[in-house]
Amino acid sequence: MSSCAEELIKELKEAIVNLDPDKAREVAEKALKQGIDIKLLINEGIGKAMQRVGELYEQGEYFLPELLLAGEAATEVLKALEPKLKAEVIKPKGVIVIGTVEGDLHDIGKNLVAMVLRANGFEVHDLGRDVPVKEFVKKAIEVDADIVAMSALLTTTMIKMRDVIEELKKAGIRDKVKVLVGGAPVTADFAREIGADGYAEDAIEAVRVAEELVRAKYGGKLRSEF
């Protein structure tokens, strides 16, 4: 990493950890103008900053209002990155319904995953956060989804992913829809245990896994290849 990139990423992290959304957006825009790799901004900037915010919360130095402000700062960075990530999609690689599961208000990681999937040629229908189990299934039917993608950040809400899979079975569409899961407390083992088809650790991996899942559904092809 160049020293200029290092300096800007440090500034970006500080703006988020110091709870300054305006500054965070300003630094992100500056970094984009200087051509700094978006992956670095996402992983080293937003990712590491939110990790630090989580630590400060655990240590009793930050409380809920601080978490909210840090969330706003990270969202400002995502907004700045979005135009750079937008891809013109004529025929999507696959259709994805995404959301954060019921009871869970964390949506920064999910927004990031949705944005990166879109930028990589998927049609993404974002249901938002705290999404009721049945909403995932309803939307999957409505848009003829290839993948239902779920995010959870709480150990108490990740179990809702299993409920969505059960609901897909009840609706008779489990064999038509692949399930992709992720989020900080989610692991590959947990994904297997609940019967999901794929797990991704971060937004970049989510793209690779989503492509694999669509290919598995269509005998090796992406939707755009038909």
Q: How far is the CB of 3 from ligand B1M (least distance, A)?
A: 25
Q: 135, 51, 39, 134: which is closest to 85 by C-alpha?
A: 39
Q: How far is the CB of 179 from ligand B1M (least distance, A)?
A: 9
**Binding-residue pattern over the window 88 to 127 for ligand B1M, x denoting contact by CB under 6 A:** ---------------xxxxxxxx-xx--------------
Look at residue 157 and give its three-state secondary structure: coil
Compute how many residues bind ligand B1M; rule: CB under 6 A: 40
Nearer to ligand B1M (CB atom), residue 8 or residue 97 = 97
- Residues in 189-218 that interact with ligand B1M by CB under 6 A: 200, 202-203, 206
DSSP for 12-56, please give it: HHHHHHTT-HHHHHHHHHHHHHTT--HHHIIIIIIIHHHHHHHHH
195 Rama class: left (phi>0) / alpha (psi -120 to 50) / beta: left
Nearer to ligand B1M (CB atom), residue 34 or residue 51 = 51
Q: Give the one residue of 38, 93, 123, 151 binding ligand B1M; rule: CB under 6 A.
A: 151
Alpha-carbon distance of 54 to 140, in angstroms, equals 33
Nearer to ligand B1M (CB atom), residue 18 or residue 51 = 51
Q: How far is the CB of 206 from ligand B1M (least distance, A)?
A: 4
* Binding of residue 68 to ligand B1M (CB under 6 A): yes
Nearer to ligand B1M (CB atom), residue 9 or residue 112 = 112
Cross-strand pairs, 99 = 150
Nearer to ligand B1M (CB atom), residue 111 or residue 222 = 111
User: How many CB atoms are located within 10 Å of the residue 205 CB?
Assistant: 15
Alpha-carbon distance of 45 to 199, in angstroms, equals 23
Q: Give the one residue of 70, 119, 161, 214 binding ligand B1M; rule: CB under 6 A.
A: 70
Eight-state DSSP code of residue 201? S
